[in-house]
Amino acid sequence: MTSIPEALLWCLSAGTAAAVVLAALSLRARGQRAGLRTRLSAAEEQNSATLHSNTELSARLRATEAEIRHLAGTRLPDLTLALAHPHVPVPGLKDARFAGTETDHALSGVLEQVSDAITKERSRVDAAAQSTLRGATTTIQALLYQLQTALQEMQHRYDDPGVAQDLLNADFLNEQALRRIQATGVVCGAWPGLTREDSYLAELVVGATSRLRGYERVQVSNQLRDPVAVVARAVEPIAIVVTELLANALHHSHRELPVTITLQQGNRGASVIVDDYGVGMHDDEIKAAMELLSGDDDLLLTQLGDPPRSGFAAAGQLVRQYGFGVHVEPSPYGGVRAVVYIPGDPLLTVLDESTQPMSVMAPLPHRSGMPERSHSALPTGATTPPPPAAAPAAPAAPSAASHEAPAQPAEGELPRRRRRKPVSELDESAGRTDSLPPRSPEETGSRWAALQRGTESGRAAAQSDPSEPPRSPEGNAQS
């Protein structure tokens, strides 16, 4: 009977053990389910993060593609245009989120490389074009000089007035072509093509005026104190610059309006001041002109416009090479004032008028006791110039001091040379102040024809002398 309690005890023990095992299994199952739920949650979060990242990556990729299309379709074409026209703006990034990023740096690098390549290629092509033009203009310029020499020789050879007039017209047309070829060559880096001797500044200005149509409208006023001259190497360059400034003044003013030139002398040099009464220039035009006239930047032929305007560009090249200065500004007369400043050192000198007299075509200096030669036109119906102004009183006999060495000029001033002419020559030079009116091409041709007729009649009279050899109709002696 004692076996029943033991059996119950064993049953209780087995039940307890089973309960413990079941509890442990239940706990383990709950732990597994919790871990599974955690893993599932983590997986869901990871999937969400991955999906969000993929969305952002896709949006960034689309934005990058749009930025590249913006670079190729807008920024590069505008950059190419801005290199030729600096006022054209080049747009920046389309999406501001790329600012300062690697994408921004990469795109900026592309722009810089393209800009550098285009600039180098333009310079190379322009240099080749300038070299070709330089060679062509040099050859044409030499031929035109030969034609000019031939025309001048023919003017002396033939006495027929009609032929003389035709030769003058042909010579003037040749001068127009020569001026344009010369300016084009200078822009392309060519040498001006002429070497002259030291020349009076007044003669230089009159010579520059004679190269232009409408030269009869130009009025020259010589206010120089001394017989100032330009050194040989700078004569032709300064003549080219003055010619181009005068051409601009004549072209942009009415054909009935004058263009005035004033020669002024300062302590450190001399100036040629050109004033016109034309349409003037706007501020941006004056700024562009000053950039060309300064000669500071290398010039491309494509910057001269279409058709190319080479006048100011040629002046700028010569300014840079020879060291004088050109300035343009609004004129007080409503047009444009252009000033050519020539420094006394090293481009000016003072000549001795007794050994190298100034041409009668040049206006005399306006010195004390020596009135300036007038360039006003003759009154209607007048056949001769008005009587000259009264000559100044004869100076006292020169003392021994007048033959001493010239005084040393102050620092920065032009060298001054004392005159050593006798009194009779001074009176004669004062007589050169007669009024010389400007002449039209027709009047010049008629005067030249009259001179030729007089020469022909003189030769015909000399031909009646039996001791003279017979002459041809052109007035040349027959061999």
Q: 331 is in which domain, residue-wise? A: 198-369
Q: Please tell me the predicted confidence (pLDDT) of residue 152.
A: 92
Higher-confidence position of 449 and 284: 284
Inter-CA distances, 258 with 251, 255, 322, 335, 435, Å = 12, 8, 30, 11, 18
Q: How confident is the model at residue 477 (pLDDT cuts 50, 70, 90)?
A: very low
pLDDT value of residue 459: 56
Mean pLDDT lowest among 12-16, 62-66, 155-159, 265-269: 12-16
- pLDDT of 146 strictly over 80: yes
Model confidence pLDDT, tens digit, residues 164-180? 899 999 999 999 999 99
The rounded distance, in Å, linking the Cα atoms of 479 and 472 is 10
289 versus 425: the higher-pLDDT residue is: 289
**pLDDT number for residue 447:** 57
Q: Are 257 and 218 in contact (CB under 8 A)?
A: no
Same domain, 208 and 93: no
pLDDT for 53 equals 75
| pLDDT score for 458 | 60
Number of domains composing the chain: 2
Stretch among 19-33, 144-158, 423-437 having the lowest mean pLDDT: 423-437
Q: Which of 342, 369, 396 is the last residue of a domain?
A: 369
Least confident of 75-79, 96-100, 182-186, 370-374: 370-374
pLDDT beyond 70 at 129:
yes
Average pLDDT of the segment spanning 343-351: 92
Q: State the virtual CA torsion across 302, 274, 241, 434 in degrees, nearest 10.
A: 150
- pTM of the complete model: 0.65
What would the mean pLDDT of 218-232 be, rounded to a whole number? 93
- Confidence band of 47 (pLDDT split at 50, 70, 90): confident
Q: 404 or 463: which carries more pLDDT confidence?
A: 463
Calpha distance 137→450 (Å, rounded): 38
pLDDT at 143 exceeding the cut of 50: yes
Instruction: State yes or no: pLDDT of 428 exceeds 50.
Output: no
The secondary element (H helix, E strand) that includes residue 223 is none
pLDDT class of 345 with cuts at 50, 70, 90: confident
Question: Is position 292 within any domain?
Answer: yes
218-222 and 259-265: which strand pairing? parallel
Domain membership of residue 468 (yes or no) is no
pLDDT at 396: 36
Query: CA separation (Å) from 298 to 132, 180, 247, 301, 427?
Result: 18, 21, 24, 10, 53
Closest among 370, 413, 419 to 223, alpha carbons compared: 370
Task: Check whether residue 79 and residue 217 sit in a common domain.
Answer: no
With 90 as the cut, is the pLDDT of residue 217 above it? yes
Q: Supply the pLDDT for residue 4.
A: 73
Instruction: Tell whether the model's pLDDT for residue 116 goes beyond 90.
Output: yes
Residue 224 lies in a domain: yes
| Residue 359 placed within a domain | yes
The DSSP bridge partners found for residue 358 are none
pLDDT at 334 over 60: yes
Q: Is residue 355 part of a domain?
A: yes
Write out pLDDT tens, residues 257-290: 999 999 999 999 999 999 999 999 999 999 989 9
**Burial letters for 110-130: b for 16+ Cβ neighbours within 10 Å, e otherwise?**
eeeebbeeeeeeeeeebeeeb
Give the span between the Cα atoms of 38 and 26, in whole angstroms.
18
What separation in angstroms does the CA of 329 have from each of 254, 257, 332?
A: 19, 19, 9
Residue 462 banded pLDDT, cuts 50, 70, 90: low
pLDDT-based confidence at residue 237 (cuts at 50, 70, 90): very high
Q: Which two tokens stand for residue 33?
A: 């389910």
End position of a domain, from candidates 66, 99, 132: 99
Which structure tokens are listed for 323?
A: 């060291």
In a domain, 467, yes or no: no
Max avg pLDDT among 83-92, 214-223, 367-376: 214-223
Residues 340 and 219 in one domain: yes
Q: What CATH number is given to the structural domain containing 357? A: 3.30.565.10
Closest CA relative to residue 157, chosen from 147, 148, 167 = 167
- Strand, coil or helix: 282: coil
Question: What is the predicted pLDDT for the residue at 378?
Answer: 31
Q: Residue 321: pLDDT above 80?
A: yes
Q: Are 190 and 138 in contact (CB under 8 A)?
A: yes
Q: Given a cut of 90, is residue 9 above it in pLDDT?
A: no
Other CB atoms within 10 A of residue 411 CB: 7
Residue 8, pLDDT above cutoff 60? yes
Listed range (220-224, 272-276, 403-407) with the worst mean pLDDT: 403-407
Q: Which residues of 412-437 are buried (b: 16+ CB within 10 A; e: fewer)?
A: eebeebeeeeeeeebeebbeebebbb
Contact 270, 264 (CB under 8 A): yes
- Chosen domain end from 336, 369, 402: 369
**What pLDDT is stored for residue 407 in this prediction?**
44
Residues in Cβ contact with 263 at an 8 Å cutoff, skipping those fewer than 6 apart = 201, 202, 205, 220, 221, 222, 223, 224, 270, 271, 272, 273
- pLDDT band, residue 324 (cuts 50/70/90): very high
pLDDT value at residue 444: 53
**143, part of any domain:** no
Q: Are residues 213 and 75 in the same domain?
A: no
Residues 200, 193: Cα–Cα separation, whole Å: 20
User: Does 300 or 437 have the greater pLDDT score?
Assistant: 300
Q: Assess whether 317 and 202 both reside in one domain.
A: yes
Mean pLDDT of the chain: 78
Note whether 211 and 181 are within 8 A (CB): no
Does residue 193 fall inside a structural domain? Answer: no
Residue pLDDT, tens place only, 84-95: 888 889 999 988
Clarify whether residues 83 and 204 are in a common domain: no
Query: Over 245-264, what HEC string results?
Result: HHHHHHHCCCCCCCEEEEEE
Tell me what pLDDT residue 425 has: 38
Does 213 lie in the same domain as 79?
no
Task: Enter the tokens of residue 189.
Answer: 């880096």
CB 335 within 8 A of CB 278: yes
Q: List, in sequence order, every residue forming a beta bridge with 362; answer none if it has no partner.
A: none
Co-location of 365 and 243 in the same domain = yes
Model pLDDT, residue 435: 41
Least trusted range by pLDDT, from 95-104, 275-284, 328-337: 95-104
pLDDT of 401 strictly over 50: no
What pLDDT does residue 314 have?
94
What are φ and ψ of residue 333, in 5° steps?
-95, 5
217/361 same-domain check: yes
Res 154: pLDDT: 93
